[in-house]
Amino acid sequence: MPHATAPLSLKLCTSKTMNDDQKIKIAELKQLRAIEHFKSVISMAELALKSAILINGGASVALLTFIGNIKSGDKNFLVYSLCSFAFGVLFGAIGTFLAYLAQNHFMEQINAQIKSQDDEKHKFVAIGSCGLSYLAFFIGIILASNGLMGIST
């Protein structure tokens, strides 16, 4: 039966006699892993914010086009849904700005070579703002569907 070998970092960590080169290599691997994880988190946050702005903005444009082509009927729900989509874009933009502030604060700490402290305030408000943007989209969809039901009758 073939014998499975453990990863290099596990072998090096479990070895009782690690030389300085091995310790440096482990530290470098850990640092590379942390950097890649950080890049992944930033990429996902960027995608969430872009998506929030895109879906609300696209819905606003589509709804404006639709409202402009309606001849008659009650447009109140459609106008309210348009406002909800507009607030969704606003919350997405606020979230993007706060994410920038959080990352700028983090980079200032790195450049000043001081112990990095999480900028919890900006980070959590940015996450909440992104969540509000998605909530505004959901509310806008519900209002738009109610408005469309009122037009068809």
| AA identity, residue 29 | L
Q: Crossing angle for the helix pair 76-111 and 20-69, nearest 10 degrees?
A: 160
| pTM for this prediction | 0.73
Hey, what are 66's tokens? 């639709």
Q: Distance from first CA to last CA of the chain, Å, rounded?
A: 73
**Per residue in 75-114, pLDDT tens?**
788 889 999 999 999 999 999 998 888 888 887 877 787 7
Query: Domains in the chain: how many in total?
Result: 1
Q: Is residue 69 part of a domain?
A: yes
d(CA 147, CA 105): 44
Phi-psi sector, 17: left (phi>0), alpha (psi -120 to 50), beta: beta
Quote the pLDDT of residue 23. 86
Q: Is residue 38 part of a domain?
A: no
Q: Is residue 51 part of a domain?
A: yes
Q: Is residue 147 part of a domain?
A: yes
**Per residue in 29-51, pLDDT tens?**
888 888 888 888 888 888 999 99
